[in-house]
Structures are given as structure tokens and as C-alpha cells.
Structure 1
Amino acid sequence: MADHQHMRILILGGSVFLGRAFVTEAQRRGHEVTIFNRGRSGTDPEGVEVVRGDREVADDLRRLAEGHTWDAVVDTSGMHPRVVGESARALSGHAGAYLFVSSFHAYEGWPAEAVSETSPRHACASDAAPDDVAYNALKAGCERAVEESFAGDALILNPGVIVGPHESTGRLLWWLERMARGGQVLAPGRADQSVQVIDARDIAAFGLDQLEVKATGRFLVTGPVGATSFGDLLAGCAEVTGSDAEVVWVDETFLLDKEVAVWTGLPLWAVDQPGMAGTWLASSDKALAAGLRCRPLAETVRDTWQWLQHRGPSAGPYKQGTTLLGLEPEQEQRLLAEWGARRGSESA
């Protein structure tokens, strides 16, 4: 294990997915970790100091901060600018740095355009309420809330699609479970379509690296452009699950005509049209130059499947917000039959 300067780190959240990855990596490096959450979303990792509270309650934030200091705050759970601003103000003077995990959604051009750290952000105010702007713009306001309200170093990470063990949204989990069931599997578009994903553990390692060297500013963190494809992803899922699945690549126009929802109906499907042309073209060059290390997708898929088997079936369907992810089995079979009939008639 490499030597790391000891740090005291406060993680807002810390019990579910990305926050848990930060906890695990921080502990591996010998850092002292405090987590602050409501105790509702997941089990607390072992070996951390747990402070119960709600970041939307001023008294809870005040109680968290009183008499405590940390080298850094890691905020993986901020969704609304006003809430993030209140956290940043409450913790000013109690920590030297504030790392906020944002997303590609902060950039006004994504997913239609390729983005980098210098791309324009959405015009969302630092004190915006959830109903003031479109949902996708809120992360930009959260970033401004940290930059304007925290009296210390501000570090912003902009990840794209995050996958790995403990995944909470379920995009990779849905594909793993679907491939494990075997049979004909409907896949959208082309096997060689690029995808960009990043393991939560790699974000955590990079974020802590930057905190340890007192970096500031922003980094876009995702897999390198063109490093992997949708076909690679599904092949990896088939391999680790021991599946006999036969992947059937179905034309995107056909799927759109059948009103299959882009991105959610088949998770990670970014249709080859101008409005999504930049989905998998975001530049992580700055982060890679600063030491971002992205593990092979096959390793992420393997580790996620192992965790998924240990966790067992989900208590409910996977969702992005309130939108269900994936096709129902009956819908998938109907689409495959219709696609097969069309292909048969075309070749007759």
C-alpha cells in the first residue's frame, strides 16, 4: 500500500454507492472517516464515526459542525443548490476542502455535444430551488453553491455513468440479470457503438488523490473515448454470468417506431441522433493526465456480478428517478419476434 498523508474526512452520505466507495478507499489509505446521513438508505460501513442527521435541517448541520474539524468534506449526495449551499456554509471553517461530485448534466451542451472542463455550464443559480430550473441544470447550481459558499478549497468532479459494486441506479445490474437469464437478448443498435462508463471505486481513488495533493478546480471523470463498446459490455456480462445468451442487435429506427424509451427502455442506449451525439465523447484527458486510473470494464463487470449474487434480488424494479429501467420480458419477446419477421420478409 502506498503511503498517504493521514487525513480526517467527512463524507455526506457514505452508506450506499459512490459515498461507500469513498469510505472504503479512504479507510484503505488509513484515513479517519466520519459519515453524516439519515440512516435510511443503506447500512453504515464498519469502522467509521457515524453522525445521524438530515442535511436539509439547519440544526442537524449545526450539530455536525460544532466542535469538529476535518481536512476535507466529500459530498456525493448533493442534489439541490440551496441544500448544498447550506451544507457548504455550515462546514466553512470546519474543513480545509470541499469535494463535490457533480455530473455531466452540469454542462448545457451534453449529451448533444462532446464536453470537457471548459464547456459552458447551465445557467442555474447557486440558491435555486428544485422547481426553478430543469432537473438537468440543478447540478450546475450545486457546483456554484460550493464555489460561492465554502470558505476553503473547492474541488468539483464531473462523472458520467457510474457503475460498479453497490450500484444504486441499476443500469449495469439490469444487463447482468438479463444476460444471466439467457436466451435471445434484444440489444439496441450496433455492437461496436462506444460507451463510456467509470467504476465508482476509480472515482473515489482519483478524488482522494486530488484531496491529498490539495488540488482545486474541476475534473471530468469517465472512461477514455472509444475504450470500450456496448458489445464488450454485453459480452462481459455473458461471460461472468455463465450465460448462453444470444445477443440480437436491433435497428434503432425499429425500436423508436415501437416507442422503446431511449436510455431507460434499454439501459445505456444513446440513440445515434444529433440530440445524443456527444453522449460517449466526453473528454477525460485532464483527469487522466492528473492520474485518473480506469480499471478494465471486465473487472468492474466481474466484481459487480459477485456483489450482486451476494446481495440477492432487488426489492423492486430498477429506476432512474421515477422511470423504470429495462424491458419487461413479454415486451422484449414481442419485439424480437416482430424484428425477426421483418428481417425474414426483407430477405425473402
Structure 2
Amino acid sequence: MRLLVLGGTGFVGGATVAEAVRDGWSVTVFNRGRHGTVPSGVERLRGDRTAPGGLAALAGGEWDVVVDTWDGAPRAAGETARALAGRVGRYVYVSSGSVYAEPVEPGSAEDAPVVDAAPDADDADYASNKAGAERAVREVYGESALIARAGLILGPGEDIGRLPWWLERVARGGDVLAPGPADLPLQYIDARDLAAFLLDPVVPGGTYNVISRTGHATMGALLDAAVTVTGAGARLRWTDPEAILAADVEPWNDLPVWIPQGHPYRWLQERDVSRAYAAGLTCRPVAETVADTWAWLRAVGTVPPRAGRPQRAPVGLDPAREEAVLAAAR
């Protein structure tokens, strides 16, 4: 099988390349060549899809599957899809749950309304870029295209730093502000499980919420696994959400992964995924994701920069603020 990954050196693209190499695929990546490396034996084509003639390196090639992780201007996604028409057997676009138009009802499926975004639009916000790119790809490939709306993505290689922040915080030891309740259900996807779904030839075309079932893990299971793998003797101090929110601590950003019940963005942890599971999605245990991420983090030393996009503000709570919340809770 011949695979073309548009990107291929970032978090999801890198996981997809690694998965394909393990499965014996012939892999080509196409990117600007400014970031990251690729495994031995992977062909690397250079080009900038936003520049005139930037797709020239793709001319004449043919692939069984193309996986596109683009999150820039929808116009560029459409131009790339058209340039590859007739030369790829299957087009896979990695989108995001961010495309859903707020307010979003918890439990919503793939037919929930999405933000209004034109397929030929220039660069905009993340949600509009992803929604517009979905439409651009469908204009060329219709329902034969696989649109994978991921959500919270964790695992080795994570370039946002959510799980790495928790691991590094737990590794420092001492009393750790653990946002309750411990049995709060989580919904996420390991990048390697996402990659396996993208490359599965049995999955029919169409749009999927590609993320675990709600409750595949809990906040307690995630942090317990972090305590175990770091071996730092940290003490999890479970704290009621009301006390944390009263201290102006932001879910998701200040305390990554955590979104309490009743929060306006709780739907990010409660999407309907029955379609993806019926198509064969499988998700590994949270302890494996945490352990492998810790091993990777120790090997690389720090969270890598995001490929090709401006860096986001760092996630995680300042130690002084954490101690203030803990002190108030005591």
C-alpha cells in the first residue's frame, strides 16, 4: 500500500507515518521541510501548498491513500484535493470536533450543525479552517472521503502539552491539585489509535467522531496512572469543582483535560461515537497511553513545537496559584 501524508512530521501526522511504516506501507510525506524528521525509508517531498506552484512535487505521483492533517486556509485544502484527483484511491482528512457550532448538546452525533465556513476561504480561526477544509475535500471526493473529527488527542508526540503537563507536575511530587470528582468520565483518543483508524481500509467513507467512548477513562484513572509511572510519590488532593472554579481556575487550560459536569464545554467530553466504533475503532487503556507518553517525554526532554502553526499559550496552572487553591481547600 502506498501512503501520502500531507504534513507528516507533527503529532497526528507523525503517528500516522509511524503506524504505516510498522504495517509495511510505502510512505511519502509532503511538507515544507522546516520541522521534524521522518523514519528511515520514508520519502520526503518538499513544497508549500500556499505558494504558487507549491504542489509541483506531487505531480505524477499515485497513492492508494492520502491523509491530510491541514489546519490552515480551506482554499489550500481544496486546491490540494483537486490536484490529487484521479491519482489517489482514498482521501482522508483529519478534522476536529471544534467544527461543531455552539452551543453543542452533550451526546451529539456527526449530524450536529457545524460552523459556517466556505471551502474557498482564506486562513481564519481553527474551527472555520477545519470546517471549510471538510467542505473543500467533499467537493472533490464526495462521501467517499473519510472525514475524521477527532477531539482531545493524547499520546507520545503530543505538541500541545496537556498530558505532558500533568506528568511533569506529578513528577515534581508533593500535594497535587486533583480536580474532582475522581470518577469524572473522560473522552479522548490516543494518536496511535486515531492513526490506525485513518489507515483501516475497511472503514467506509463518510464523517466520524473519532474519539473514545465517554468514560473510556476517568480523571482518577489518568492521574493515578501518572503517579504510578513517574514514581514520584505525589499525593493527589481531590478537590471539588466548585472550589476550583471559584478561584478562577480555567478547566481545559489551567487544568488540562478536565472539564467538569455542567460546564459549557462539557460536550467536548461527551460526543456520540457509535458510528466510529461500529466501523472498527478501538482504543487502548489509559495506563498504556500515560506510560508511553512518560517514556517519550523523558527521551525528548520537552514538548516539541507545533509544526507549521503559531505556538499556543502554555497550558497548566502556575505553582503559586495551585498552592493557593490547595490551601483554601484545606
Q: Common fold, TM-score beyond 0.5?
A: yes
Counterpart check, 1:69 vs 2:59: no
Instruction: Indicate the SS of the match to 1:186.
Output: strand
Conserved? CA contact 2:164–2:303, under 8 Å: no
Partner of residue 160, structure 1:
151
Partner of residue 185, structure 2:
194
Q: Note the C-alpha offset of 1:21.
A: 1.1
Partner of residue 3, structure 1:
none
Q: Note the C-alpha offset of 1:261.
A: 2.0
1:272-308 deviation digits (Å, cap 9, x = unpaired): 3251232221122111111111011111111111111
Q: Note the C-alpha offset of 1:192.
A: 0.9
Instruction: Indicate the SS of the match to 1:60.
Output: coil
RMSD: 2.2
Give the alignment of 1:132-211 within 5 angstroms. Answer: 135-150=126-141, 153-209=144-200
Partner of residue 89, structure 2:
96
Q: Note the C-alpha offset of 1:176.
A: 0.7
1:36-66 deviation digits (Å, cap 9, x = unpaired): 11222212222100001212123121x1221
Cα pair distance change 1:315/1:199, threshold 3 Å:
closer
Conserved? CA contact 1:101–1:156, under 8 Å: yes
Q: Note the C-alpha offset of 1:172.
A: 0.6
Size of the alignment, in residue pairs? 328
Question: For 2:13 and 2:303, how far apart are their aligned partners in 1?
Answer: 20
Partner of residue 291, structure 1:
280
Conserved? CA contact 1:155–1:215, under 8 Å: yes
Counterpart selection for 1:59 from 53, 56, 81: 53
Partner of residue 333, structure 1:
323
1:291-326 deviation digits (Å, cap 9, x = unpaired): 111011111111111111111134789x99532200
Partner of residue 39, structure 1:
33
Partner of residue 265, structure 1:
254
The structure number with the bigger radius of gyration is: 1
Question: For 1:285 and 1:185, how far apart are their aligned partners in 2?
Answer: 35
Give the alignment of 1:293-312 within 5 angstroms. Answer: 293-312=282-301
Range moving further from structure 2, 286-295 or 37-46: 37-46
Q: Note the C-alpha offset of 1:76.
A: 1.6
Partner of residue 225, structure 1:
214
Question: For 1:143 and 1:10, how far apart are their aligned partners in 2?
Answer: 18
Range moving further from structure 2, 117-126 or 14-23: 117-126
Give the counterpart letter for 2:148 in structure 1.
L
Question: For 2:192 and 2:310, how far apart are their aligned partners in 1?
Answer: 21
Partner of residue 84, structure 1:
77
Range moving further from structure 2, 270-279 or 191-200: 270-279
Give the counterpart letter for 2:71 in structure 1.
G
Question: For 1:323 and 1:261, how far apart are their aligned partners in 2?
Answer: 13
Counterpart selection for 1:250 from 234, 239, 254: 239
Give the counterpart letter for 1:171 in structure 2.
R
Conserved? CA contact 1:185–1:245, under 8 Å: yes
Cα pair distance change 1:325/1:112, threshold 3 Å:
farther
TM-score, normalising length from structure 2?
A: 0.92
Range moving further from structure 2, 51-60 or 196-205: 51-60
Partner of residue 271, structure 2:
282
